[in-house]
Amino acid sequence: MDMSGKTVLITGASRGIGEAAARVFADAGANVVLVARTSGDIERISAEIGDRAMAVTCDVAEYASVAAAVEQAVARFGAVDVLINNAGVIEPISHLRDSEPAGWGQAIDVNLKGVYHGMRAVLPGMRAAGGGTVLTISSGAAHNALEGWSHYCASKAAVHMMTQALHKEECEAGIRAIGLSPGTVATEMQREIKASGRNPVAALEWSDHIPPEWPARCLLWLCGPEGDAWLGQEVSLREEGVRRSVGLIR
């Protein structure tokens, strides 16, 4: 997959899937814009990638911050061709009866409103350019409730619907909207889940999780013509056929 001349903006790019995606897309020739709330890691990763990368500090929970990040990306590279909505939080894990309203609301601000902010900020430019791709990290939690994850499950379910809505509204404008449910991935989020001791996911061993490079490679694959079969839908990386098509297994 050749992404030369294309610009990809990735939220939550300081580690995990976001960092892996930045490296995978850069290897494919893309310009990459790494977005995160703090600058240290994204500046390091950007420097390691080179001139086709830039780091932008941004709080996805604030629309003005996201819009400013998109403006910086356009000023540097001319456009945003692909948006990867990856930023997300799992904390605070708790039962509803014990949940802290501010923390519960902050998770919604990041996981749901952050995705909306990204979509809203890139859509005018994508429409003017005649198209673009919006890829959003989904989760099995969008479809199955898990103990202690009311905030996460609710936000991911809403994001799944928002991807469908974006497809219905913008597909005729050439905008491709797809969700990716990667399964459990070996990232810092899984360490937080393990520490909580809540629900079956916390019982998994580190070796049960896939490496972040797998969903990163799937995101690149979805930018190609093979991704057209999934427009407005959610791809599950748990499925062997998908893994095989992406080239992750034989």
Written in H, E and C, the secondary structure of the chain is: CCCCCCEEEEECCCCHHHHHHHHHHHHCCCEEEEEECCCHHHHHHHHHHCCCEEEEECCCCCHHHHHHHHHHHHHHHCCCCEEEECCCCCCCCCCHHHCCHHHHHHHHHHHHHHHHHHHHHHHHHHHHHCCEEEEEECCHHHCCCCCCCHHHHHHHHHHHHHHHHHHHHHHHHCEEEEEEECCCECCHHHHHHHHHCCHHHHCCCHHHCECCHHHHHHHHHHCCHHHHHHCCCEEECCCHHHHHHHCCCC
Query: Hey, what amino acid is at 75?
Result: A
User: Which residues share a beta bridge with 204?
Assistant: none
Q: Is 63 a catalytic residue?
A: no
Q: Which of 25, 149, 152, 230 is catalytic?
A: 152
CA 6 to chain centre: 18
Q: Are 243 and 159 in contact (CB under 8 A)?
A: no
CA 126 to chain centre: 18
Write out the catalytic residue numbers: 152
